[in-house]
Amino acid sequence: MADRLFGVQRHERLLSELRRSGSVRVAALARELGVSELTIRRDIAALASRNLVTRVHGGATLPRDAPRAARPARTRFTVGMVVPSLDFSWPPIVAGARAAAAALGVTLRLRGSAGDPEEDRRQITGLAGEVHGLLLAPALDAAMAGWIGRLPVPAVLVEREPSRWTATPRQLEWVRCDHALGAEIAVHHLHERGHRRIGLALGSDASHASHAPDTPGTPSSPHTPHAPGTPSSPHTPHAPGTPSSPHTPHAPGTPSSPHTPHAPGTPSSPHTPHAPGTPGTPGTPHTPGTPGTPHAPDAPAGQLRAGWRAACAELGVDGPILAGGTVRDLLAEVRRAGLTALVVHGEPDAAAVARGCAEHGVVIPGDLALIAYDDDTAHLAEPALTAVRPPRHHVGRLAVELIVSRLLDGDRRPSQRVLVAPELVERHSSRAVRF
């Protein structure tokens, strides 16, 4: 019946979903209703003209002053959120956080920072005296981690991972996408389709990095061991809506916190150190603020490298990591290396590679299979690109649930560090071909 819905019915379904979750994706709604994505875009445009929705890249959100569906009575909690950008990969994370805050009756105060440590500290300091808890994505080094661990209110890192052990009174909590696993998923997908020479091209990481990402250099061997403790093995995908860690199991919705909440009387206690083997063991040293301090890479590029090398070594695949440059340079390197498949970090870069292939007579997937790492616009490329989809909306939801649980239950649960598994969406660009 979904394919027979009239326009008014579709509009009502779209608005209902917006009131429930705070945002909708064109591709997901089109699949659910059995109509084309163009139809959904037209529906969104019609509703936006009446100021009922706000159009965003790949979907829509509710206007700021729009009423939501029956909201629970507000709790006493106000949570601050500081992110390095309100563009790039952050809108779905923020949308997920807002949806969870609305569902839990929490007031969310959002601030944007420039990703500079001093600006991060200024924004965080300004919020810390006004809120009960914080969600943070700072430029992270040992000094910043120690400073956050001594804030007067509890904090959860979002898309950031400090060292496995931090020199703080209480071990820091975090939630992020498991980008290393995303790289492994891509390699295994291509290997199953017969590819044995697969390249990884790393694009700009400015929207994610908590420190300057490694500069891709000459192709790397797939057999180079990854940094100890760097997440590379698959994890069980996190159950939707349950703030649970793949490392330290806990009862769904059972919060706890290491800090004394801003509101008087709320219990508090130090974190229990997380279980051995949790990703985040010190890796390659970097020097933002405290030279020589070891930290695990927490920009997606570093995590992708770790997962990539682990998967290539496991499968015996020749998997060079290609240097940055123009599309022409990249395709020349692909030819020199004899690659039959390529994974590109960043949809704009992947789409540019697809256009470059068309201009240079490289057939996708016949001559070169192509996978994008990210999935907001990959379906619009020509041909439609297979993509690894990081669950950013869910990361935002989990971050809010985790900080609220910490405020509610204090020390009644251990510290948690949550990895959320990406998924692969297969499209034309990686279909099996004849070799």
Cα–Cα distance between 112 and 408 in angstroms, integer?
27
Give Cα 415 to chain centroid, integer Å: 21
From residue 146, alpha-carbon distances to 180, 198, 213, 255, 258 in Å are: 25, 40, 21, 23, 14
Pair 319, 309: CB distance under 8 Å: yes
Cα–Cα distance between 279 and 281 in angstroms, integer?
6
Q: What is the pLDDT of residue 243?
A: 40
Q: What is the pLDDT of residues 349-391, one digit of tens each?
A: 999 999 999 999 999 999 999 999 999 889 999 999 999 999 9
Nearest CA to 111 among 146, 133, 135?
135
What domains, with CATH codes, occur in the chain?
Answer: 2-61 (1.10.10.10), 78-177+240-276+392-420 (3.40.50.2300), 179-235+294-389+423-430 (3.40.50.2300)
For 204, phi and psi rounded to 5 degrees?
-65, 140
412 CB-side CA count, 13 A: 13
Of the pLDDT bands very low, low, confident and very high (cuts 50, 70, 90), residue 32 is confident
Residues in contact with 384: Cβ distance below 8 Å, sequence separation at least 6, in sequence order: 378, 427, 428, 429
Model confidence at 270: pLDDT above 50 = no
From residue 384, alpha-carbon distances to 193, 283, 380 in Å are: 18, 36, 6
Of the pLDDT bands very low, low, confident and very high (cuts 50, 70, 90), residue 56 is confident
Q: What is the pLDDT of residue 121?
A: 93
Q: What is the pLDDT of residues 293-319, one digit of tens each?
A: 333 334 688 899 999 999 999 999 989
Q: Where are the beta strands (DSSP E) in 118-226?
A: 133-136, 155-158, 173-177, 198-202
Pair 354, 213: CB distance under 8 Å: no
Q: What is the pLDDT of residues 106-146, one digit of tens each?
A: 999 999 887 788 999 999 999 999 999 999 999 988 899 99
* Average pLDDT over every residue of 384-406: 95
Cα–Cα distance between 173 and 156 in angstroms, integer?
5
Q: What is the pLDDT of residue 347?
A: 87
Cα–Cα distance between 389 and 130 in angstroms, integer?
35
Rg (CA), the chain: 22
Pair 284, 293: CB distance under 8 Å: no
Tokens of 255: 């919060």
Model confidence at 210: pLDDT above 80 = no
Query: Helices in 168-237 by DSSP H: which ranges?
Result: 179-192
Q: What is the pLDDT of residues 144-198, one digit of tens each?
A: 999 999 999 999 999 999 887 877 777 899 999 999 999 999 999 999 999 999 9
Q: Where are the beta strands (DSSP E) in 257-405?
A: 285-286, 293-294, 321-322, 341-345, 369-373, 386-389
